[in-house]
């Protein structure tokens, strides 16, 4: 019986990394094509979880690589950092003030436009997932129907063979009966001739 092909998390991640190493964009459809099947929803979940885990590992490695600075350099760095932070704070406040002066309607329109595009993309992605899963189910159903038809065909062939045997047996029986009928007709003719001779002999006696 045909079934939708499922792959392990390791196989899905390895397929994504191969696509990534070739400089191509990795998405559930590309991984599915690389593997030759699988549920797009499941592939998406596994790949996104892998990306999050990889980011966490990279962050931890970055923390481990931090070098402790000498006291003088550290103090100077912290002093400069405070100055820069103060400047950044002023710049941020000024930027915020300018941003607040922008048209809220225009900002809202831009946000709504991007949200609509995101929603449209997510809807298209879900439709594609459902279409692939439906295709896999229909393929499985067709394979099941094919297996059923093959089994019925084999059964019909067996029954046909049996019927052919019965027909041959009947034809042989009919042939035998025709031979017997021919012999009976011959006997009846012989009996008629004999009866005629007897009648002639009785009339002459």
Q: pTM for this one?
A: 0.41
- List the domain range (segments joined by +) for residue 28: 1-65
- Would 51 be classed as within a structural domain? yes
**What pLDDT shows up at residue 127?**
84
**What pLDDT shows up at residue 27?**
93
Which residues touch 74 (CB under 8 Å, ≥6 apart)?
A: none
- Would 30 be classed as within a structural domain? yes
- Would 14 be classed as within a structural domain? yes
- Would 21 be classed as within a structural domain? yes
**What pLDDT shows up at residue 45?**
93
- Would 82 be classed as within a structural domain? no
Question: Over the stretch 74-83, which tens digit does the pLDDT of each residue have?
Answer: 767 777 777 8
**How many domains does one find in the chain?**
1
- Would 131 be classed as within a structural domain? no
User: How far, CA to CA in Å, does 96 sit from each of 86, 87, 90, 105, 114?
Assistant: 15, 14, 10, 17, 22
- Give, to the nearest 10 degrees, the angle between helix 9-21 and helix 40-64: 70
Question: Over the stretch 104-141, which tens digit does the pLDDT of each residue have?
Answer: 667 677 787 878 888 887 888 888 888 888 888 888 88
**What pLDDT shows up at residue 64?**
52
| Residue ranges for the chain with pLDDT beneath 70 | 1-5, 58-70, 75, 96, 98-99, 101-105, 107, 205
Which residues touch 38 (CB under 8 Å, ≥6 apart)?
A: 4, 5, 6, 7, 12, 31, 32
Please give the distance of CA 71 from its chain centroid, rounded to a whole number: 62
- Would 71 be classed as within a structural domain? no
């Amino acid at each position: 019986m045909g079934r939708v092909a499922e792959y392990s998390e390791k196989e899905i991640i390895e397929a994504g990394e191969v696509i990534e190493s070739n400089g191509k964009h990795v998405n559930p459809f590309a991984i599915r094509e690389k593997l030759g099947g699988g549920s797009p929803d499941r592939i998406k979940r596994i790949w996104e979880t892998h990306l999050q885990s990889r980011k966490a590992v990279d962050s931890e490695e970055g923390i481990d690589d931090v070098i402790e600075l000498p006291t003088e350099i550290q103090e100077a760095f912290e002093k400069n950092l405070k100055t820069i932070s103060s400047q950044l704070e002023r710049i941020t406040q000024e930027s915020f003030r300018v941003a607040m002066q922008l048209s809220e309607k225009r900002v809202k329109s831009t946000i709504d436009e991007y949200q609509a595009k995101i929603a449209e993309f997510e809807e298209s992605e879900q439709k594609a997932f459902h279409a692939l899963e439906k295709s896999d189910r229909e393929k499985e159903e067709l394979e099941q129907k094919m297996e059923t038809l093959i089994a019925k065909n084999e059964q019909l062939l067996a029954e046909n063979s049996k019927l052919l045997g019965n027909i041959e047996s009947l034809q042989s029986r009919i042939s035998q009966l025709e031979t017997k009928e021919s012999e009976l007709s011959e006997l009846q003719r012989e009996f008629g001739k004999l009866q005629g001779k007897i009648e002639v002999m009785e009339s002459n006696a």
